Amino acid sequence: MTQTSLAAIVMAGGLGKRMRSATPKHLHVLLGRRMVDWALDAVLALEPDPVVVVTSPEAQDELAGSLDGAHVAVQPEPRGTGDAVAATRPVLDGFDGDVLVVPGDAPLLTPQLLEDVLATHRRERPALTMVTVEPEVPRAYGRVLRAPDGSVAAIVEAADATPEELGITELNASIYVFSANDLWRSLDRLGTENAQGELYLTDAVAALVGAGRTVAAHRASDASEADGVNTRAELAQAAAALRDRINARHMEAGVTILDPATAWIDAGVELEADAVVEPFTILRGRTRVARGASIGPHTVIVDAIVGERATIGPFCYVRPGTVLEAGAKAGTFVEIKNSTIGEGTKVPHLSYIGDADVGAGTNIAAGNITANVRHEDRAKQRTRIGRDVKTGIHSSLVAPVEIGDGAWIAPGSVITEDVPADALAGFPPRQETKEGYVRARRRRD
């Protein structure tokens, strides 16, 4: 391989004990993506080959097969960051280019920062280029020690630092670009004489300098991009920062977000220009919102398709598999699941529509539900409601049932049998169907 080739290592082996969670730290989700996925996305933008994600045995099964374009290497025991990098040797054996190493608990990483440090490395050609930051409030990161001539001499971890060293404001961001040969040579020199009794990757700096090699530093212009997540509080802070980035991108593309601080939009959500997002709205998964649609306030939509000029909310819950076609409405305190709501159809308030297909121009009155009795030997059945149907308040449609085009449902009804087109049905306590009633009524009117 040429000296300009690039491999990448994403460090995701820590369990994150300070998270107080049964879920490994790197698998916690922020805005629809696991923490490690955010870091991996930034790395993949540089098109390295190969890419290796180092993980713990606890996370191995979940990560295997779920990382697009990346190998998984397992660190059997948590023996430090140097040992974690060493776990990638079977994959990187024979690679002689540059190796980018990033932490998998830094979801705010951007491709631009990684491109900048790589450019510094290839311009100056040291053995190692590291990213440093100077945050306003120093964190428990390694301190960068400089020689009298200003060159990088070593990194001392916060747990091993003296009070004087803790006063240093230049911190290690745990983002590195190594020459592959220098990386392996420095790992062979690591020891465990430190407060944690671990193999620190940061000790590679002093090892390289001691061997007469040069270490360069690239100062990040935005220290927050290197922020790691170790606690639930830091997880929430990172999520808020990602929320702001996502919302800013949508607003720049022509979406109206009335209160960006209360709109939580997953990374995989698509919104077209002139869509409107009201306050306290959550859009999750692969939701797609078309031009001119209005969502919220106080609305949750998950894996749904919202057509042009459709309106959803307030206080609405739209669940996976739902499609609202152009001009459809799901109003106050409405829940819809795995259903198609036809063009111009209205479900204005206080109703549940699940596993249903509703035609265009229909009006579902308040307090309606589609009920589904699941038998042991059958999956859930669907309710089919035609075009221009009108249902009365407080009615239940028990699947499998089909309501024909133009039919009316009387208030307070329980519909268990199919209703023909243009019929009037209901009349509790038992369903009665008057065929042709609506057609005759139209003629009289």
| Active site residue ranges | 349
* Sign of the CA dihedral with 11 first, then 15, 16, and 21 last: positive
d(CA 174, CA 171): 9
Q: Answer yes or no: are the C-beta atoms of 281 and 296 closer than 8 Å.
A: yes
CA angle 52, 243, 59 (to 5 degrees): 30
Q: Please tell me whether residue 335 adopts helix, strand or coil conformation.
A: strand
Q: Answer yes or no: are the C-beta atoms of 308 and 293 closer than 8 Å.
A: yes
Q: What is the DSSP letter of 419?
A: B
Residue 267 main-chain phi, psi, to 5 deg:
-60, -30
Q: Answer yes or no: are the C-beta atoms of 407 and 419 closer than 8 Å.
A: yes
Give buried/exposed letters for 271-296 (b at 16+ CB in 10 A, else e): bbeebbbbbbbbbbeebbbbebbbbb
**Which has the closest alpha carbon to 108: 290, 251, 267?**
267
Residue 87 tokens read as 């776990």
**Residue count (the chain):** 445
Distance from CA of residue 206 to its chain's centroid? 38
Residue 175 tokens read as 């983002």
SS3 breakdown of the chain: % helix, strand, coil, rounded to 5? 25, 30, 45
Helices (H), ranges, 189-348 = 203-210, 232-252
Q: What residues does 58 pair with on adjacent strands?
A: none
* Sign of the CA dihedral with 59 first, then 65, 67, and 72 last: positive
d(CA 371, CA 374): 10
CA atoms within 13 A on the CB side of 270: 10
